[in-house]
Amino acid sequence: RYRIDGILHEIMSLPLSVHPPLLSRVKIMSGLNIAERRRPQDGQITFDMGDREVDIRVATSNTVHGEMVVLRLLDKTFAFLPLPEIGFLPDTLERYFQMVKTPFGMVLISGPTGSGKTTTQYATVNQLDSTGRNILTIEDPVEYRFTNINQMQVNPAAGVTFATGLRACMRLDPDVILIGEIRDAETAQIATQASLTGHLVLSSVHANDTVSVIFRMIDLGVEPFLLASAVVGIVAQRMVRRVCSYCSQPTSVSPDEQMAYEQELN
C-alpha cells in the first residue's frame, strides 16, 4: 500500500512466498540484521533518482502475522523549499516571518504526525542567515542534511537525548537552536530557559491546535509566567492535498457542487 497525501492506496498484493526474500533484501540494503525478527529495527537507504537524491527510512517490527516493514521516502529537494512555497497564506507567512526574525524567544509548531512540521522547520532554518548566525539542531533522526548548519543526532544508546543534546548545545555558542520535538519535561524546561537567555528556539509539539500547545507545555512542568515571557508565537498546521499539475484534467461542475462551494466560501 502507498500513502499518498495522507491517504492509503491499495496498489498490489504479493504472494506470501515473496515476503521472506523481499524483506531480507530490504534489510540488507538498509543495513539491518536479517536474522533479527523479534525486535523493531530502523535503517536507511540512499539512492539517486535522476538529478534528485532520495532517502528511504526503513522501519521493521514483528506482528502476529509476521514482520511488517514500512518505507518512508524523503525527497531532499523538499528540505530546501523557501518559506513562501510551503503553502502559508500571505498574512500568515508575514506573521511567521516576524516571529523568526526575533533574536530570542521560542517559536513552536504543532500538528499531527505527517502534517509537515519538519518541512516547515527546515524551511525556516534555511531562510535564516547561517553565515552570521550559529545554528544548531537536535533531531531524531536527522532527516535532511545541511552543509552550513551543525546538526546533532539523538542517540539514546550513547546517552544523547533531546535534553542532554540541548544542554550540550548551550555550551556551543548558538544563536538559533532547532529541537526536532519537545517530548518530555526536561527538554521543555531547558528549551524555555534557552529562549529566555538570548537564543531563538524552534521546535514542535504534538498538539491539535495552538491553545493545546500551551496546556501541553504546562503539563510538562513549564510555569505559565515563563511561557508568557518565552513564547514568541505558535503555529498549528495541517497537510492540505493539492491538485496534481501533471495529471489533472478539467471537468464540469454540477449545480449542487457549485452551490456547496459558494456556501463554503461565504
Q: Is 231 helix (H, G, I), strand (E, B) or coil?
A: strand
Instruction: Give which of 255, 190, 259 is closest to 226, Cα–Cα.
Output: 190
Residues of the chain with pLDDT under 70: 78-79
- pLDDT at position 146, please? 82
Domains and CATH numbers, the chain: 2-75 (3.30.450.90), 79-236 (3.40.50.300)
CA angle 161, 166, 171 (to 5 degrees): 130
Work out the angle between the directed axes of helices 185-196 and 162-170 (0-180°, nearest 10). 20
- pLDDT at position 51, please? 79
- pLDDT at position 230, please? 96
| Measured distance CA(80)–CA(127) in Å, rounded | 9
Instruction: Give which of 101, 231, 99, 125 is closest to 177, Cα–Cα.
Output: 125
Instruction: Find how far residue 27's CA is from the centre of its chain.
Output: 24
- pLDDT at position 105, please? 96
Grid cell for residue 197: 537567555
* Helix count and strand count (H, E) for the chain: 8, 11
- The Cβ of residue 214 has, within 10 Å, a number of other Cβ atoms equal to 19
* DSSP summary character for residue 26: H
- The Cβ of residue 206 has, within 10 Å, a number of other Cβ atoms equal to 16
Residue 122 burial by Cβ neighbours in a 10 Å radius (0-12, 13-18, 19+): buried
- pLDDT at position 159, please? 87
What predicted TM-score, i.e. pTM, was given to this entire model?
Answer: 0.80
- pLDDT at position 218, please? 96
| Measured distance CA(147)–CA(258) in Å, rounded | 49
- pLDDT at position 79, please? 65
